[in-house]
Each structure stands twice: as C-alpha cells, then as structure tokens.
Amino acid sequence: MDDTANTSTLAIDEVEHRLDRTSFTSWVPRPQHRYRGHRLTAKRAVDLVLGSVLLVAAVPILVVVLATVRLTSPGPALFRQHRVGRNGRLFRIIKIRTMYVDAEHRLVSDPELRARYVRHGYKLPLREDPRITQLGAFLRRTSIDELPQLWNVVRGEMSLVGPRPVLTEELEEYGPYATAYRMAKPGLTGPWQVAGRDAVRFPYRARIDADYIDQWSLTGDAVILAKTLPAVLKARGVS
C-alpha cells in the first residue's frame, strides 16, 4: 500500500474515532459536589504527608531500577511529558522511561500503528507495542514506572488519588467529560486503576473519572488506595 492510501486510511480511522464520541452522555458537575473548599485542604495534607513517606520508602527501589534502565537501553532513565492538571494547567509528569528513545518516531512513521493507537484510546496493548523495551513491559505491568510521580504529588501537581493523567490532544476528544479532568488534580492511582486499568476502555474510563469528582470524599480516596496494591499485584487490566 502506498503512502497516500496509508494516510487516507489513517484519516478515516481518526474521523470514525471522533464520531464515536458524538454520542457522549452529557456531563456537568453536580452543584453540591464536594471537590472544593476546605475538603481539598485536607486532601492536600494527606498527599503531602503520605506522599513524602512513600517517596522516601521508594528511593531504594528507584535507585536500582533507574540504574537498570540506563544499563539495558540507551537514553535517560526518566521520562517527562506534559499532562493536563487542575484548571487546565500543564505540568511535566515524571515516569521511569519504559520506551525506546525513538518511540515517538516509531509511532508517527507507521500509519497503521498510529491508527491502532488512536482506536485503542491513545494506548497500545503491551504485547503489541514495539515502542516498549523488555524491561519497560515489566515496569508497566507492576506500575513501578509510576513511582517517580510521587514527586509530582509532593509538589502539588498531582494527588495520590484522582482522575487519570491525560495528554492535551487526548482531552480534546473527551467531550463534556473534559470538564472533570480540568477540575481535579490527576492521580497516581484512581477509580480507573482499581476498576481494571487498560481493560477499561474509553468512554467508560472517562465516565468513571467524572463520577469520582461528583462523589469524591476522603473516605472514598482511602478505599481506592486500599484497593490499589491488590490491583497492581494481580496486574488487573494490564493487556
């Protein structure tokens, strides 16, 4: 197939992907939602104290893993990327690098791969993603690659619990649910994590995150935190 045909196929796939989103159920936050005011001050206190403790505890693991990443593939050990934060402000999320340094080139240079990436909700199954290193696949299955985000939590850019961190271009296709992602700090874990991670496809994961904002409470956050470790250990929803 020539480049023109590949480009046309990609365009059709992306249009169909967007058309699927025109059937969204309208969503607006309830007037009585509790994600505001002094309750967020309490949430921030939990993030700062517990996030700091977890970050210190994670240091030995991070030292070993970061060194292993440097030894097993060329490139930096850490990966930084802009994500959408509260009130739509961008911040640089920090993760352990799990992809080859030319990962973006591999994606944009292969129209079929890019089309599958878009159709799959801006993700690819680990087994089918040629951008991910062998060590990176293990780090993703165990969520160890997300440990550096504890620094984002301590800095106040993220929360221990919240909606999934999303890219700007991803949020543009979330329709009315985009409001929920701009209302809250993204979470290191969240309802999507304990509900099944990659197994929860769009638009269901967006609805789950939106409902989290509407129904948020510190008790609910505690329940999600308690469910996160079993979900990670079982690699629930990791494809």
Please, how many CA atoms are within 13 Å of residue 178, restricted to the half-sphere of its CB? Answer: 13
- The residue segments making up the domain with residue 184 are 30-233
Q: pTM of the prediction?
A: 0.81
Residue 8 belongs to a domain? no
Within a domain: residue 4? no
Token output for 9: 């196929």
Cβ atoms within 10 Å of 60's Cβ, excluding its own: 9
Q: Distance between CA atoms of 223 and 219, rounded to whole angstroms?
A: 6
Instruction: Give me the long-range contacts of 87-91 (CB less than 8 A, separation at least 24).
Output: 87/182, 88/182, 90/168, 91/152, 91/157, 91/158
For the chain, give the number of residues. Answer: 239
d(C-alpha 153, C-alpha 160), whole Å = 6
Indicate whether 137 belongs to any domain. yes
48 neighbors 200 (Cβ within 8 angstroms): no
Number of domains the chain contains? 1
Q: Is residue 126 part of a domain?
A: yes
238 in a structural domain:
no
Alpha carbons 59 and 56: distance in angstroms, whole number: 5
- The per-residue pLDDT string of the chain (239 residues; one tens digit each, 9 = 90 and over) reads 433 333 333 333 443 344 344 445 566 666 666 778 888 999 999 999 999 999 999 999 999 999 999 999 999 999 999 999 999 999 999 999 999 998 888 888 888 888 888 777 677 878 888 899 999 999 998 999 999 999 999 999 999 999 999 999 888 888 888 888 999 999 999 998 887 766 677 677 888 898 898 889 999 999 999 999 888 877 665 55
Residue 140 included in any domain: yes
